[in-house]
Structure 1
Amino acid sequence: MEEGKRNKKLHAACIPFPAQGHITPMLQLAKVLNSKGFYITFFNSEHNHECLLHSQGPNSLDGSPSFRFATFPDGLPPSDTTPNQPRSAESLVRSLERNSALLFQKILLILIEPKPSLGTPPVSIIISDAFLSFPLNAAREFIDCPIVLFTASSPSCFLAYSQFDNLLDSGVLPFKDADYMTNGSLDVKPDLEPSSMKGMRLRDLPSHVRTTEKDNPVFGFIKRIITRCSDRPIIFNTFKALDHEVLKDLSEVLIGPIYTVGPLQSLSNNLALHESEGISDIGSNILKEDSECLRWLDSQNPNSVVYASFGSTTTMTNEQLIEFAWGLANSKHPFLWVIRPDIIIGQSAILPVEFEMEVKGRGILVSWCPQQKVLSHPSIGVYLTHSGWNSTLETISSGVPVICWPYKGDHQPISWWSCYKWGIGKELDIFVKRDQVEKHIKEVLEEEKGKMLKLKAMEWKHLADEATSSNGSSRLDIDRFIDYVASLHHVENGLTI
């Protein structure tokens, strides 16, 4: 089947969970499919749509004849904070589940609107974030449209989710003592069945397990995600060489087809993304980027700079911020540090005057930055990270070692894999101390151990490049996914592809 004919009438509706870490990879996937000939309708929450316009520019989401943006309400009251401000993930989960009926009605009205006579094909496939339930309801009850699920989490996190029921049934969870953070309970190694999880401690499982309540609503939410995904096609933002052990174990949990199409940022960069229509330039950052830091990086020596960033949702106390600050300062290495305006819980970040004097001329602070460009800059020597999945894939694609301080959600298993399986990093204690930050930075940038981490990081970069190149595993899986959609389109809708 010729590619142009195969994709001519295909239309994908892409619906990410409305948080930065979910929007970014879904938009990258949408761009890839658009470059392959798909018509795209991309959904953002109304709040995030406004945030994106604020950070990217008033015409940044105008789209193109083959790529349009649509919005749905997230059910939360209008924010009275600055418009360039993400929503709380916990509030979003509660609101989206509570208002699911209203939301899928809104989605439905938009999805049935396109008219082939106007040049917009009918929807061929819904690509829904696995965290969302309402697109599945809409697909089932109203438009009888095929649906596949996309997860922005790592496969290792998804596999860990599938074990929560067993851990609850066996009594390993929930924790019996409220002091589990300090009494050694997190260091217990449970008897986990999947071979790829052997050796994991409870601290290495997604942070959702950290509770003393067996009826914690998060467990129910996770169980619904696993049930939702168990028999449906699912897309992972990874590549086979990186996660082959986990994917083998997942094949015992998921009976539907699995597509590995990552790293999506590399795949989208490698494909022609309709630059004449401006699609490749559409950004996904809700926060406004400071690109001036790239000029400063140009003035630094290769592999010398510490890049420190903890993602779009991580928060900490001011005491923890100060520990990181003095760890960076005492390392004596130049650094670029992203400190979001809302990174401190309930207050503004306050750094000591002595710190500012100590690092003057060798450290810069920004509120947000173009991370992919930063990580691929030759001056970056190590990434001090929260271990978010998008960030981890970006650093793997750039061949940069990591120092991990996992915060929540899937950060914990990703940190474990980075440090103990992939061999690209060092892990910080939960209760961060400046001496350990300094020690890890010096180990990575000055010692033989750091050279080994860099060598391993470059090996993974080479494998990521292979996966997203012509005939690479991720490129082939994108084509396999397109063939799957085309076959459904042909059989279910009686259309000629």
Structure 2
Amino acid sequence: MKNIHVLAIPYPAQGHVIPLMEASRCFTNSGLMVTFVNTEFIHKRVMSAGSEMDCPRDLMRMVSIPDGMEPCDDRSDIGKLTKTMFQLMPTKLEELINDINKDDEDKITCIVADYYMGWVVRVARKMGIRLASFCPSSAAVSAVIMSVQKLMDDEVINCNGVPMQDKMIQLSNSMPFMDPRNFIWACVGDSTTNKIIFDYVVLDGKEAAEAADHIICNSTMELEPGAFALFPKLLPIGPLLATNRSARQVAHFWNEDSTCLAWLDQQPVCSVIYLAFGSFTVFDQRQFEELALGLEDTKRPFLWVVRPGTSGSMDYVYPTGYMDRIGTHGKMVSWAPQQEVLNHPSVACFMSHCGWNSTMEGVSNGIPFLCWPYFADQFFNKTYICDIWKTGVGLKKDDTGIVTREEIKSKVEQLLDNDIIKENALNLQEKVMDCVRAGNSSNKNLNKFIDWVKEENEHARVNETSKLMNE
């Protein structure tokens, strides 16, 4: 019997790989076969981290293709990585698909490509394979990308994506205000990097979105009604991690330190500040010290994820005598099992970079946020959290660009003394968790998408049978 075979390909970043992997787990649970394609560099990291999928092994294949960069190249140079990938990977993906399709029983039925890998549309067209786009970020980000031409026509941005207006804009009356200077391509790096992201990610992403049969999004109608009303083609199927609360996340780039769970067990209920800033955020030494001292000044227990390699070739240095002073009051880990941490009763709040994956996890667990965005869509996600959902507060930098220890202490106290924010967070949790329950909006959209994949496979089988009979 011919398998219904989906090829899934994420952008090579932690916040993209994890949600598409969760979507793939949902596909395999419905009987679809998935070939998950990472870059060779990311594939090695995921495999070395040792996490395993809780799905039938015969339905999930993990494979890789080269990203075009040398082993010693700096993959934190997002502009160089993106440009190089988009030049080499189309050919390598086509070779991979041709190799898979040699087996008539395992031919690729559908490609599900990350929204940020828009070049895949040309491979899909050339090979006659159905295409769906996957949006790992908010529907609002998708809406911005799909509105690029209108933004140029309205002179909000120029043809290179550079903001032309110093004022907030709305894509529709039902959507929040946005700062064009914080569009995903406008605040990634220097002007050269921003231009590369605009040309390769945004413009190609718009083309792919227009060509895709479906766009599935890791969000919910409850969180972003305006964006989904503006572009009905977007199908919310999230929060994806909320569909998998009984199992641990997979596809992490670092080994999770589960010793923090035993430490959390020893802390009072709703007492711990949890800090994690994703896979890209970098602090300089001065900011690192201010953060450390600010946490100390709160007099509250804290669990702090200090990512490996965060400061390049040089490790952070804690303030003199710091480790002795905090003792067991604080715990630092290199990477945490975040799903389990945020679901732990001792966690009181989440100090976060506001990446969409982390935002969805915090929302799904009813946790208030301390928002510290770093780049790209994280600034708009903060707008959602602080201004629209009202489930958190933002940390402000001083005139020198530093979030001071005084600011950290003040905002922690402000957040944890605010019962309205806590109540808002719990109410929002109830709404989004309801979306993934059987028969409700996100669950229905996911099943609708899976049914479409199966129907297309059935159509192909009937057409192939008819063709053979007529020969």
Q: What is the TM-score with the length of structure 2 in the denominator?
A: 0.88
**Structure 2 SS opposite 1:95:** helix
Residue 486 of structure 1 and its aligned partner are, at CA, apart by: 2.3
Q: Go from structure 1 to structure 2 and tell me whether the alpha carbon gap of 1:442 and 1:204 turns closer, same or farther (over 3 Å shift).
A: farther
Q: Distance in 1 between matches of 2:206 and 2:53?
A: 35
- 2:415 counterpart residue number: 444
Q: 1:129 aligns with which of 114, 121, 127?
A: 114
Residue 269 of structure 1 and its aligned partner are, at CA, apart by: 3.8
Check conservation: 1:29, 1:264, Cα contact below 8 A.
yes
**Structure 2 SS opposite 1:348:** coil
- 2:103 counterpart residue number: 114
Q: Distance in 2 between matches of 1:145 and 1:400?
A: 41
Q: 1:31 aligns with which of 21, 25, 28?
A: 25
- 1:22 counterpart residue number: 16
Check conservation: 1:29, 1:268, Cα contact below 8 A.
no
Residue 259 of structure 1 and its aligned partner are, at CA, apart by: 1.9
Question: Is 1:138 paired with 2:127?
Answer: no
Residue 425 of structure 1 and its aligned partner are, at CA, apart by: 0.6
Check conservation: 1:53, 1:60, Cα contact below 8 A.
no
**Runs (4+) off by over 6 Å:** 59-63, 210-215
Q: Distance in 2 between matches of 1:129 and 1:16?
A: 5
1:267-306 aligned at under 5 Å gives the runs 267-269=243-245, 283-306=250-273
Residue 209 of structure 1 and its aligned partner are, at CA, apart by: 5.0
- 1:224 counterpart residue number: 204
Q: Go from structure 1 to structure 2 and tell me whether the alpha carbon gap of 1:128 and 1:382 turns closer, same or farther (over 3 Å shift).
A: same
Question: Is 1:56 paired with 2:50?
Answer: yes
Check conservation: 1:53, 1:61, Cα contact below 8 A.
no
Give the aligned residue type for 1:462.
E
Give the aligned residue type for 1:314.
T
Runs of at least 5 residues in structure 2 that lack an aligned partner in the other structure: 466-471
Q: Distance in 2 between matches of 1:160 and 1:260?
A: 16
Q: Distance in 2 between matches of 1:80 and 1:208?
A: 24
Q: Distance in 1 between matches of 2:69 and 2:133?
A: 24
Check conservation: 1:104, 1:137, Cα contact below 8 A.
no
Q: Go from structure 1 to structure 2 and tell me whether the alpha carbon gap of 1:341 and 1:215 turns closer, same or farther (over 3 Å shift).
A: closer
Residue 319 of structure 1 and its aligned partner are, at CA, apart by: 1.3
- Which sits farther off after the overlay, 431-440 or 158-167? 158-167
Q: 1:383 aligns with which of 333, 346, 350?
A: 350
Q: Go from structure 1 to structure 2 and tell me whether the alpha carbon gap of 1:230 and 1:115 turns closer, same or farther (over 3 Å shift).
A: closer
Question: Is 1:365 paired with 2:346?
Answer: no
Q: Distance in 1 between matches of 2:342 and 2:290?
A: 23
Aligned-residue identity in percent:
26
Q: 1:259 aligns with which of 235, 259, 266?
A: 235
Check conservation: 2:35, 2:61, Cα contact below 8 A.
yes
Q: Distance in 1 between matches of 2:124 and 2:203?
A: 21
Residue 196 of structure 1 and its aligned partner are, at CA, apart by: 3.9
Q: Distance in 1 between matches of 2:187 and 2:174?
A: 19
Q: Distance in 1 between matches of 2:104 and 2:235?
A: 30
Residue 155 of structure 1 and its aligned partner are, at CA, apart by: 1.1
Q: Go from structure 1 to structure 2 and tell me whether the alpha carbon gap of 1:212 and 1:195 turns closer, same or farther (over 3 Å shift).
A: farther
User: In the TM superposition, what whole-angstrom CA distance separates every residue of 1:398-430 from its partner, at most 9, and x where no partner exists?
Assistant: 110001111111111111111100111111125
Q: Distance in 2 between matches of 1:357 and 1:192?
A: 50
**Structure 2 SS opposite 1:383:** strand
User: In the TM superposition, what whole-angstrom CA distance separates every residue of 1:229-261 from its partner, at most 9, and x where no partner exists?
Assistant: 12421110011111112211233xxxxx33211
Q: Go from structure 1 to structure 2 and tell me whether the alpha carbon gap of 1:403 and 1:259 turns closer, same or farther (over 3 Å shift).
A: same
Q: Distance in 2 between matches of 1:381 and 1:203?
A: 32
Question: Across the two proteins, how many residue pairs are aligned to each other?
Answer: 455
Question: Is 1:154 paired with 2:138?
Answer: yes
Residue 60 of structure 1 and its aligned partner are, at CA, apart by: 7.9
Q: Distance in 2 between matches of 1:394 and 1:191?
A: 28
Q: Distance in 2 between matches of 1:145 and 1:461?
A: 38
Q: Distance in 2 between matches of 1:35 and 1:249?
A: 31
Check conservation: 1:173, 1:209, Cα contact below 8 A.
no
Q: Go from structure 1 to structure 2 and tell me whether the alpha carbon gap of 1:51 and 1:87 turns closer, same or farther (over 3 Å shift).
A: farther
1:58-137 aligned at under 5 Å gives the runs 64-79=57-72, 88-116=77-105, 121-137=106-122
Q: Distance in 2 between matches of 1:412 and 1:371?
A: 21
Q: Distance in 1 between matches of 2:145 and 2:61?
A: 34
Q: Go from structure 1 to structure 2 and tell me whether the alpha carbon gap of 1:355 and 1:388 turns closer, same or farther (over 3 Å shift).
A: same
Q: 1:247 aligns with which of 228, 235, 239?
A: 228
Q: Distance in 2 between matches of 1:213 and 1:122?
A: 40
Check conservation: 1:340, 1:367, Cα contact below 8 A.
yes
Q: What RMSD, in angstroms, separates the aligned Cα atoms of the two structures?
A: 3.0
Q: Go from structure 1 to structure 2 and tell me whether the alpha carbon gap of 1:208 and 1:345 turns closer, same or farther (over 3 Å shift).
A: farther
1:482-493 aligned at under 5 Å gives the runs 482-493=450-461
Q: Distance in 1 between matches of 2:439 and 2:152?
A: 43
- 2:6 counterpart residue number: 12
Residue 137 of structure 1 and its aligned partner are, at CA, apart by: 2.5
Residue 41 of structure 1 and its aligned partner are, at CA, apart by: 1.2
Check conservation: 2:355, 2:381, Cα contact below 8 A.
yes
Residue 263 of structure 1 and its aligned partner are, at CA, apart by: 0.6
Residue 169 of structure 1 and its aligned partner are, at CA, apart by: 5.2
Check conservation: 1:104, 1:134, Cα contact below 8 A.
no
Q: Distance in 1 between matches of 2:154 and 2:227?
A: 23
**Structure 2 SS opposite 1:13:** strand
Check conservation: 1:305, 1:379, Cα contact below 8 A.
yes
- 2:468 counterpart residue number: none
Question: Is 1:40 paired with 2:8?
Answer: no
Give the aligned residue type for 1:358.
R
Q: Go from structure 1 to structure 2 and tell me whether the alpha carbon gap of 1:342 and 1:131 turns closer, same or farther (over 3 Å shift).
A: same
- 1:410 counterpart residue number: 377
- 1:333 counterpart residue number: 300
User: In the TM superposition, what whole-angstrom CA distance separates every residue of 1:52-105 from its partner, at most 9, and x where no partner exists?
Assistant: 222117x88997122211111111112489xxxx75433321111121343223
1:306-345 aligned at under 5 Å gives the runs 306-345=273-312
Check conservation: 2:118, 2:206, Cα contact below 8 A.
no
Residue 359 of structure 1 and its aligned partner are, at CA, apart by: 2.0
